[in-house]
Every structure is written in structure tokens, then in C-alpha cells.
Amino acid sequence: QIYTMNDQGASNHSEMTDFIFVGFRIQPELHIFLFLTFLFVYSMVLLGNVGILTIILIDSQLNTPMYFFLGNLSFIDLSYSSAVAPKAMANFLSSSKSISFEGCVVQFFFFVLFMVAEGFVLAAMAYDRFVAICSPLQYSIRMSRRLCTQLVFGSYFCGWVTSILLVSITFTLSFCASRVIDHFYCDSHSIEKISCSNIVINRMVSLVLSGIIILPTLIVIMVSYVYIVSTVLKIRSAEGRMKAFSTCGSHLGVVSLLYGTTFFVYLIPPNNPELRKVASVCYILVTPMLNPLIYSLRNKDVKESLKRIFRKAKALL
């Protein structure tokens, strides 16, 4: 169903009052199944990330730079999933499947903000592991509380600036023929497709921003791990090598999940929007669901902290 706008609306984007999501092109009776699937995965996202945040806040023994970054990572995962999932689930049960113009702006703003911030926080975590393994004697000095706070603040600031820029160029476009977004959330690519404005500048700005964000973060991560692997291989005992690698395994798993799914989404041909939607679910919901599992199952400190918390709770009962 395509909605047309009058001539006045065709010349001014401010006449746009709402957008309509196409969502997934499936049989209407399967929408309930899709809603229940999203509800289950989103519940796991909430449970896992709130759990990690609670453990880090409660247990003073986890008051270290690594867990400071991990707590922020959980908050970010929780935030960008929450920017998309609740509205998507509501639309699965709705006949209109609409979102207001302002709602779309807000959803887009927060999604971009936290996605960009996550990339920088993961780079900060890689640097933290590099200092811990390659310069252990200087770790407490180099990874000071002030530096960690600055790195996290800088991550959010970069996300905020990127979000402002992308919102500014995306939502000043004119939408003169259709307000139907072929997606289940407000994605810049899908919004640009229904615009009658020239989007060459938008594409150039998006490309430049992607390069500014992705390249430095990936370079920091890769260079950090080159030095980490080089240092670990010099350790003579197999047990020492395994211990060093185990502190990096969780982080590498999270990095691989995020960047792997994100690159996959943008490598999908434009003529296959349904595959793009399925892939989007991976980094919007599946990755934030798996991140806490990766850290809790592979991390001895987190498991020990859980045991301490359960012992204290049992003693109180």
C-alpha cells in the first residue's frame, strides 16, 4: 500500500507526519510467531545485559578498567536494542505499522549514537587488553580511572556527533511520493530510497563518516592484537599462554559478531531487502543477546562473582 502526498507536501518534508513500515514480507498469521521470537530474544537481551551491569555494580572486586568498559558495552547493547525492538514488536501486532516522523528521528538518532559508541568502546577494550598483556607492570598507571572515563566519554561523544550529522542530512530530505519504508525500523538506506531529493551528498557524508569511524577503531583493535599475539607467543609455559589468550577470547568474539554482522548487512545486494532485514536482526538483537553469554561463560571473574552474589543472597535468606 503506497500513500501519496499532495503537491504542497511534495515540496516540503515538514508535511510528513508519519512513516509506514513494510516489515517482513510474510503471511499475516506468522506475525504472532515473529512477535514471540522478538519478545524472547529481546527478553534475553534485557536479562543478560542488566545482569552483567548489576554484577559489575554490586561486586567491588570487578572495579577494574576491563569491567568498567564491559559495563558500558552492556549499557550500549541494551540501549540500541531498546531503540528498535519495542516498536518493531508493537508493529507486528498492529495493522497500521506506522511510526511518527518525530518517532523515526528519535529512533534513528539513538540507534546511530549507540552503534557508533559501541565501536569505539570495543577499540578501548582492545587497548586495555594490549596494556594488560604487553605492559602489565605499568597497567595501573596507564589505564587510570581518568583515562578510562575519557575513552568512554569520547565514545559517546563521537556517537552523538555522528548521530546529529546523519539525522540532519537524512531528515531534511523531501518525501514526495511515498512514506512506506521497506524495513522494520528507521534505517538511513531505506529512508533515502523513498526520497525524491538528490542523495549524492548523503551517500558521500555517510561513506566519509563510516571511514572515520570504522577504520580507526578496526586499526586500534588489529594493531593491539598483533602486539598481544606477539607478546603471548613469547611466553614459555603453555598455561601462561592460555591464560593470556583467555582474557582476550571474549572480546574477540564480541568484535567478530558485531563487525561480521554489520559488514554482512552492507554487502547484501540492494535488490534483496528481505535478507538485509534478517541480517539486521543479527546485530540489533542477536549480538546484544550473545555478548553477555560470551563474557559470562568464558570469564572466570564473572562466574566467581556470580557465586559470591548467590552465596550472599543465600546467607540473607
In the chain, the percentage of residues whose pLDDT exceeds 70 is 91
Give the 3-state secondary structure of residue 269: coil
The region of weakest confidence among 26-30, 32-36, 76-80 is 26-30
The pLDDT assigned to 143 comes to 93
**Helix 145-170 and helix 101-134, axial crossing angle in degrees, nearest 10:** 150
> Is 233 a domain residue?
yes
Q: Encode pLDDT of 45-83 as tens digits.
A: 999 999 899 888 888 888 889 889 999 999 999 999 999
Cell 551517500, located at residue: 203
Residues spanned by the domain of 244: 18-303
> Is 114 a domain residue?
yes
> Is 13 a domain residue?
no
> Is 4 a domain residue?
no
CATH code assigned at 100: 1.20.1070.10
Q: How far is CA 30 from CA 15, 26, 86, 254, 260, in A?
A: 34, 7, 18, 31, 28
Across the range 269-275, mean pLDDT stands at: 77
The pLDDT assigned to 148 comes to 95
> Is 71 a domain residue?
yes
What is the full DSSP assignment across 187-219? -HHHHHHT--S--HHHHHHHHHHHHHHHHHHHH
Across the range 172-197, mean pLDDT stands at: 86
Q: Encode pLDDT of 299-309 as tens digits.
A: 677 777 777 77
Give the chain's domain count: 1
Which residues face 144 on adjacent strands? none
- Residue 213 CB contacts under 8 Å (≥ 6 apart), including other chains: 116, 119, 120, 158, 162
Residue 219 has pLDDT above 90, yes or no: yes
> Is 311 a domain residue?
no
> Is 274 a domain residue?
yes
* Core vs surface per residue 180-199: b (16+ CB within 10 A) or e: bbbbbbbbbbbbbbbbeeeb
Would you say 73 and 125 are in contact if contact means Cβ atoms under 8 Å apart?
A: yes
> Is 68 a domain residue?
yes
Would you say 187 and 147 are in contact if contact means Cβ atoms under 8 Å apart?
A: no
Q: Which of 281, 248, 290, 299 has the alpha carbon at shortest distance from 48? A: 290
Residue 6 has pLDDT above 50, yes or no: no
